[in-house]
């Protein structure tokens, strides 16, 4: 009888013992990073892992700056880009806890001048709608106000822009990722709290969580030099590029934060503890009820009742600042982030009390922000689907080859069309889009040039392609965003309007040239 009791007790204890063991060792993570760094041209990466609620790995690999040859460590600050969105949602949750607003408040309750594309949508647009990518607008609508950087658009411009956008679906019926509505959410934080979004996040979130070096926007880094700089790969070579900055910080709420894996480990642990933080977990940053609101699916993205895919995934949706899905029976909460030369992924598995943070400073860099995350997720969840590093290498090679073929064919056609004689005066003039403002088509030495008056980096030479279409090669090279410009001609053969779209099939969605409606306003 005593033997049976002991066996039963052992069976009860075994799951606890198994759960308490680290499934992912630092040696394993080191080996993943080593393979990835050897296989793909890249600059640096920082990895943080939390298991059973405790930090088990914080480490940097590679360089923070190729030009300075400075190393990455656990305290190196990276741009976390859209992982900032969860901070914006949490900031609103804190204000809900304080009774200063409600999730169901209309945006116009706090920003009276806010206007959407239809009166009904304006009147019914709530704070939750700002955060859930279900506005009816298309993917990345209006992002051209912020990409490339250097434009002079402000929060006020963003607030006014939506009324001029054309919806692609009915309100609250479809998921389409949106950055600018998070900018509006940040402005709600500002108007309700009296503090600019970046200052609120630093004072009310980062300071409390001990995120000692993190900042809301790049401009707030002061006297701290352990910073990762962005890089890109070109013809197999890693090239350092300028840091993306928005001078007035207005993009911060959608993607402005700089943080490290060390600081973000405190952020992740707070969420795994349902809003509690500190050694004793007696302090509360956000109430459990509002923290769980962030992790509730508000917008469905994908559903497969059979889970017939590598991760045995049945659903994917968007909460408030977080993606939510299942993998091999476990809930996975995560988000990615991307700015020129900076890519990141933060993942949490609540049932395992685990988290994974991968920050990188090279694009694509083998997309190791995803590949390394997926390798560790598989280890934690007991899934063994594939070699993600090898899979990504194959995918990158194939997609880059396909995109390169498309782009090369365009410029080959431009070369063939170079002898076509055109009358530049039929195209020159000033054109205006209701939300993007004015662009100028001008002639210099017999060549047409495109210049945006509000986004100076969108300046480039226009080469005749075919029909009424020109190919624009931008002076800006940090991201691949060359574009077609097609002129609409009036009955006299003079251009009256321009439509645009990206040339490369791999162009980032934030270059939403296709949303522009440029109409001639001057000769």
Q: Which residues of 400-434 are buried (b: 16+ CB within 10 A; e: fewer)?
A: eeebeeebeebeebbeebeeeeeeeeebbbbbebe
| DSSP E strand boundaries for 236-307 | 237-240, 258-259, 276-277, 283-284, 299-303
How much of the chain is helix, strand and coil, in % rounded to 5?
35, 25, 40
- Whether 114 and 216 map to the same domain: the answer is yes
- Whether 78 and 131 map to the same domain: the answer is yes
**CA distance linking residue 41 with residue 341, whole number of Å:** 13
State the pLDDT at residue 3: 38
- Whether 281 and 359 map to the same domain: the answer is yes
State the pLDDT at residue 115: 98
Mean pLDDT throughout 505-510?
A: 95
Mean predicted lDDT score pLDDT of the chain: 93
- Whether 185 and 105 map to the same domain: the answer is yes
Q: Answer whether residue 244 is part of any domain.
A: yes
Q: Answer whether residue 23 is part of any domain.
A: no
Q: Answer whether residue 417 is part of any domain.
A: yes
Tens of pLDDT, residues 437-470: 999 999 999 899 999 999 999 999 999 999 999 9
- Whether 179 and 48 map to the same domain: the answer is yes
The CATH code of the domain that includes 203 is 3.40.710.10
Q: Which residues contact 210 (CB under 8 A, 6 or more apart)?
A: 263, 266
Mean pLDDT throughout 131-135?
A: 98
Structural domain that includes position 437: 412-522
- Please check the confidence at residue 14 and state whether its pLDDT lies above 60: no
State the pLDDT at residue 383: 84
Quote the tokens at residue 347: 């993942």
The CATH code of the domain that includes 505 is 2.40.128.50
Specify the number of domains making up the chain. 2
- In this prediction the pTM is 0.94
Q: Answer whether residue 391 is part of any domain.
A: no
Radius of gyration of the chain (CA): 25
Q: Answer whether residue 303 is part of any domain.
A: yes
- Whether 377 and 420 map to the same domain: the answer is no
Quote the tokens at residue 173: 């019926």
The burial class, CB within 10 Å (0-12 / 13-18 / 19+), for 397 is: exposed
- Please check the confidence at residue 20 and state whether its pLDDT lies above 80: no
- Please check the confidence at residue 9 and state whether its pLDDT lies above 70: no
- Whether 301 and 428 map to the same domain: the answer is no
Q: Answer whether residue 65 is part of any domain.
A: yes
State the pLDDT at residue 385: 75
Tens of pLDDT, residues 493-504: 999 999 999 999
| Long-range pairs of 115-121 with CB within 8 A, sequence gap ≥ 24 | 115/159, 115/160, 115/162, 115/163, 116/162, 116/163, 117/162, 117/163, 117/164, 117/165, 117/166, 117/167, 118/167, 118/171, 120/171, 121/171
State the pLDDT at residue 523: 67
Q: Chain-centre distance of CA 125, in angstroms?
A: 23
Q: Answer whether residue 84 is part of any domain.
A: yes
State the pLDDT at residue 5: 41
**CA distance linking residue 105 with residue 113, whole number of Å:** 15
Tens of pLDDT, residues 285-320: 999 999 999 999 999 999 999 988 878 899 999 999
Q: Which residues contact 497 (CB under 8 A, 6 or more apart)?
A: 431, 487, 488, 517, 518, 519, 520
Q: How would residue 77 be classed by pLDDT, with cut points 50, 70 and 90? A: very high
Under 8 Å between Cβ of 431 and 441: yes
- Whether 220 and 114 map to the same domain: the answer is yes
- Whether 294 and 355 map to the same domain: the answer is yes
Mean pLDDT throughout 36-62?
A: 97
- Please check the confidence at residue 359 and state whether its pLDDT lies above 70: yes
CA distances from 359 to 353, 355, 404, 409, 413 (A): 20, 13, 27, 35, 40
Return the percentage of the chain with pLDDT > 90, whole number. 85
**CA distance linking residue 391 with residue 342, whole number of Å:** 21
For residue 60, the cross-strand partners are 46
- Whether 417 and 362 map to the same domain: the answer is no
Tell me the residue length of the chain: 523
- Please check the confidence at residue 1 and state whether its pLDDT lies above 60: no
State the pLDDT at residue 267: 98
Closest listed residue to residue 505, CA positions, set 394, 351, 402, 369 = 402
Q: How would residue 248 be classed by pLDDT, with cut points 50, 70 and 90? A: confident
Task: Lowest mean pLDDT of 7-16, 111-120, 179-188, 284-293, name the range.
Answer: 7-16
Q: Answer whether residue 141 is part of any domain.
A: no
- Please check the confidence at residue 4 and state whether its pLDDT lies above 60: no
Tens of pLDDT, residues 388-443: 999 898 988 888 889 999 999 999 999 999 878 889 999 999 999 999 999 999 99
- Whether 373 and 442 map to the same domain: the answer is no
DSSP annotation string for 138-198: PTTTTGGGTSSS-----HHHHHHHGGGSPPSS-TTSS----SHHHHHHHHHHHHHHSS-HH
- Whether 357 and 491 map to the same domain: the answer is no
């Amino acid at each position: 009888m005593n033997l049976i009791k002991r066996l039963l007790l052992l069976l009860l204890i075994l799951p606890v013992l198994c759960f308490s063991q680290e499934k992912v060792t630092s040696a394993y993570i080191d080996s993943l990073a080593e393979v990835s760094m050897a296989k793909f041209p890249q600059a640096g990466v920082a990895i943080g892992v939390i298991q059973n609620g405790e930090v088990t790995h914080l480490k940097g690999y590679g360089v923070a700056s190729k030009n300075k040859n400075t190393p990455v460590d656990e305290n190196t600050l990276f741009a976390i880009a859209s992982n900032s969105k969860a901070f914006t949602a949490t900031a609103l949750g804190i204000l809900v806890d304080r009774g200063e607003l409600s999730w169901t408040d209309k945006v116009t309750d706090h920003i009276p001048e806010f206007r959407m594309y239809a009166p009904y949508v304006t009147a019914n647009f709530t704070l939750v709608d700002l955060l859930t990518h279900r506005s009816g607008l298309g993917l990345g609508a209006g992002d051209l106000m912020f990409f490339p950087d250097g434009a002079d658009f402000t929060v006020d411009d963003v607030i006014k822009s939506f009324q001029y956008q054309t919806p692609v679906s009915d309100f609250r019926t479809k998921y389409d990722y949106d950055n600018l509505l998070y900018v509006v959410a940040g402005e709600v934080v500002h108007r309700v709290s009296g503090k600019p979004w970046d200052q609120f996040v630093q004072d009310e979130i980062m300071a409390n969580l001990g995120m000692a070096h993190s900042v809301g926007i790049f401009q707030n880094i002061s006297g701290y030099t352990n910073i990762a700089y962005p890089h890109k790969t070109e013809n197999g070579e890693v090239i350092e590029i300028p840091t993306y900055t928005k001078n007035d910080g207005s993009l911060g709420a959608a993607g402005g934060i700089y943080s490290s894996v060390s600081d973000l480990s405190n952020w992740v642990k707070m969420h795994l503890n349902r809003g509690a933080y500190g050694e004793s977990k007696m302090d509360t940053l956000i109430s459990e009820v509002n923290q769980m609101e962030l992790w509730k699916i508000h917008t469905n993205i994908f559903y497969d009742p059979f889970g017939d895919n590598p991760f045995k995934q049945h659903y994917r949706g968007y909460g408030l600042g977080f993606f939510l899905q299942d993998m091999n029976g476990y809930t996975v909460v995560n988000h990615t982030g991307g700015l020129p030369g900076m890519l990141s992924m933060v993942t949490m598995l609540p049932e395992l009390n685990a988290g994974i943070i991968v920050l990188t400073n090279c694009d694509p860099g083998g997309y190791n922000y995803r590949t390394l995350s997926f390798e560790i997720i598989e280890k934690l969840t007991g899934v063994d689907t594939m070699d993600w590093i090898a899979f990504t290498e194959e995918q990158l090679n194939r997609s880059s080859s396909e995109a390169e073929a498309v782009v090369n064919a365009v410029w080959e056609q431009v070369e063939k069309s170079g002898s076509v004689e055109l009358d530049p005066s039929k195209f020159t003039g000033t054109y205006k889009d209701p939300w993007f403002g004015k662009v100028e088509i001008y002639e210099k030495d017999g060549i047409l040039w495109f210049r945006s008056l509000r986004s100076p980096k969108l300046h480039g030479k226009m080469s005749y392609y075919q029909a009424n279409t020109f190919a624009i090669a931008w002076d800006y090279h940090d991201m691949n965003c060359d574009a077609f410009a097609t002129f609409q001609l009036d009955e006299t053969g003079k251009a009256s309007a321009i439509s645009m779209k990206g040339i490369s099939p791999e162009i980032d969605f934030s270059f939403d040239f296709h949303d522009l409606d440029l109409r001639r306003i001057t000769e």
